[in-house]
Structure 1
């Protein structure tokens, strides 16, 4: 790919996540504005550890294929690269291959011939243990020192790449880059950095566009378009009914960051303390003054998940005013009686299983952080059981079943009837996962921990 100097680079970001959907007209508008690259994130850890632990995408094939068909045709027509990061939600190797399979099918159907790069980011526990033994693995708060057993316990581990492996794939001739786990910003930053745009404005613009329309006055509007040049960048929404304002753009530095003025990337730190946000007009914002400080040591963040047990869930609803007036006492009684009945009937002491009672409509979301005041009108009671195997989890939930349907408070002289949401009441959720890694590795080179395959695609039809 050519490295001829350019004055600016236009980035088209159609949505915050591949598969979320967007209007095709917004992509056409982005092409008309002069897009040089299309970049979109394919995943996140926002939805919890299951998708990494099980290596399962959050989105359906139909969702991803809908978006990719529009983007692949647009990239081919405009002769610009398409970059997707964190494929398959968590960026595992199978997630990359899943998206690559969808791309191959669309190319065959549409008669396209775009060369595709797959960048794999899964990490081997044995290799990471050697890094650990050599002192190259460091914890991030709140975790402490890593143990080799923790690495071995993970079902999947990914390293979060920066822009460098993506640039290498583009330089190798790829027109479509399907990356494993990557920082949201690296997906957008790779092409402009390759074209010589300054690091400060590039990383700042990439942070602002990462979630699509979230930096606009209408978060549902979909895509955004950023133009990066030597002095800064401009940003505007692709939906004509939405607008970017200095406040909406600046506010996005608060999103998913511990420090609203600094954000760490594998290669260094974005610094926006001196950034200035100004309105170009009623829809477009100009940003100048962003800086990027290159780190002395390039680091790759690790994400890993492991199985914590197997879950069974049941859900009942309470409308009885007497129980609702004493809901905390009732929930405490429910917990006590469940423990007693499980010990009596299953001979299982607490500790060989766990369960959680969540009172939705009362305090299930924030619990003691935001105590309820006064009795609620109705409450949904969710029982979540975790045990070493699925049969045990379901057995505990079944022991709890009659209690979640008819348990009275001690002073009630009648048997209440509560309401299960489903029949059967117990829903087996399968293995439950937890994140166990929040560590970085000193990487010998920015690309050393990743594997790239570039495939030439023959034109079909």
Structure 2
């Protein structure tokens, strides 16, 4: 019998096709797996230990999945809970689960897999030579790190499932680990398990209708079969094979804890108009390492936004910003005693080069330009003070000395916004483990009504 894994979506919080989900439940899956995380929006979630996704959206979708789990009678697993997988976001997801269990009248055994790493553990591993840098990794400086997590693999998910949990809420995991864990524990082909998990990690992104969300993957002793469950979606050899390019530096190699996947010899075949069969993927065991991620406060920010609509200023926005920047640097040093090295002041021209900077290839002059000023300083009070100092000049500063004082538009009042802490990624390393569970812990809790003996 194949191991059947139902994946409702690429991430909890972005939605999925509910009819397709129920179609999947009717197909009797062995497990339901979904990812909860992303580093797409940068290091803030990890540094602050909070989810970037709405609690309301998360709870709404998790309610549907908890109902689906109860109907299917199989485990429900979420990896990288709360975007970043810190201990605090695992507990955040656990609180949502307990709320829903009470509302739905469900009695559940919940396993929480924690991936948070104390600084002392990382320091000891460094001393023992068990930390290795990945390409372009920063030098390790443990002081001031807000949160450190290790990416769990299949072994840690298997340990959580072995508790008999109805729901597993995992901290930071690799995107594939939750999906590969059960097929691997059942003896399905390791190459197929890891490859199929990579294809399924983002739900229907491997199909012709990426936003439909729900897919089913059947794993067995020679490979896997993938099928989208929305009426409007289909998998093709092209859509499936292309997913190895997604968030992966090598389209043929994928590194995971304990080895790597090689799909050089993989063969993709359409079984019909919706399903694709894949065989020939190989798993090559290696040293057991887990990736480390960490974030620290890099400063505090205040922003200011003005809009240029005067044709003369819109056409010469970059020259205006260059002149303004020099003037403001002198004003800040004179009035606040801060040299340019003590803070950051950046202007981004929305509609000119706000996204691509000097790489922008633009034709013609814009009708209007948004001027976004970003102040970064050592404290929020200092950033806010700089923001207030530059405010009147962002509103009125002239392009040349011999022209009238202009007035631009502020889209809101006050014109400045204090953004709080700015975080930066501070770890891109791997840690060698002799025991896969040495850097992780599991807590099991029974919630809801008592289960009769």
Which TM class, normalised by the smaller chain length? over 0.9
**Matched-pair contact (CA < 8 Å) for 1:138–1:441:** yes
- Picking from 113, 118, 122, the partner of 1:124 is 118
Matched ranges for 1:211-290 at <5 A: 211-290=202-281
**Matched-pair contact (CA < 8 Å) for 2:188–2:222:** no
More deviation, 409-418/196-205: 409-418
Residue 85 of structure 2 is matched in structure 1 by 91
Residue 23 of structure 2 is matched in structure 1 by 29
1:317 has 2:313 as partner? no
**Matched-pair contact (CA < 8 Å) for 2:306–2:408:** yes
Tell me, in whole angstroms, the C-alpha distance in 2 between the residues paired with 1:322 and 1:143.
45
Tell me, in whole angstroms, the C-alpha distance in 1 between the residues paired with 2:424 and 2:151.
18
Residue 3 of structure 1 is matched in structure 2 by none
Residue 340 of structure 2 is matched in structure 1 by 350
Residue 53 of structure 2 is matched in structure 1 by 59
Residue 97 of structure 2 is matched in structure 1 by 103
Matched ranges for 1:74-223 at <5 A: 74-143=68-137, 145-146=139-140, 150-223=141-214
Secondary structure class of the residue paired with 1:293: strand
1:400 has 2:390 as partner? yes
Deviation at 1:377, TM superposition (A): 2.6
TM-score (norm 2): 0.96
Deviation at 1:438, TM superposition (A): 0.1
**Matched-pair contact (CA < 8 Å) for 1:264–1:270:** yes
**Matched-pair contact (CA < 8 Å) for 1:108–1:460:** no
Deviation at 1:128, TM superposition (A): 0.8
Residue 4 of structure 1 is matched in structure 2 by none
Matched ranges for 1:440-451 at <5 A: 440-451=430-441
Deviation at 1:371, TM superposition (A): 4.3
Tell me, in whole angstroms, the C-alpha distance in 1 between the residues paired with 2:268 and 2:406.
60
TM-score (norm 1): 0.95
Structure 1 runs of 4+ with >4 Å offset: none
Deviation at 1:265, TM superposition (A): 0.3
Tell me, in whole angstroms, the C-alpha distance in 2 between the residues paired with 1:247 and 1:50.
35
Tell me, in whole angstroms, the C-alpha distance in 2 between the residues paired with 1:309 and 1:256.
29
Tell me, in whole angstroms, the C-alpha distance in 2 between the residues paired with 1:80 and 1:91.
23
Secondary structure class of the residue paired with 2:447: coil
**Matched-pair contact (CA < 8 Å) for 1:138–1:145:** no
Gaps of 5+ in 1: 1-6
Matched ranges for 1:333-348 at <5 A: 333-348=323-338
1:375 has 2:365 as partner? yes
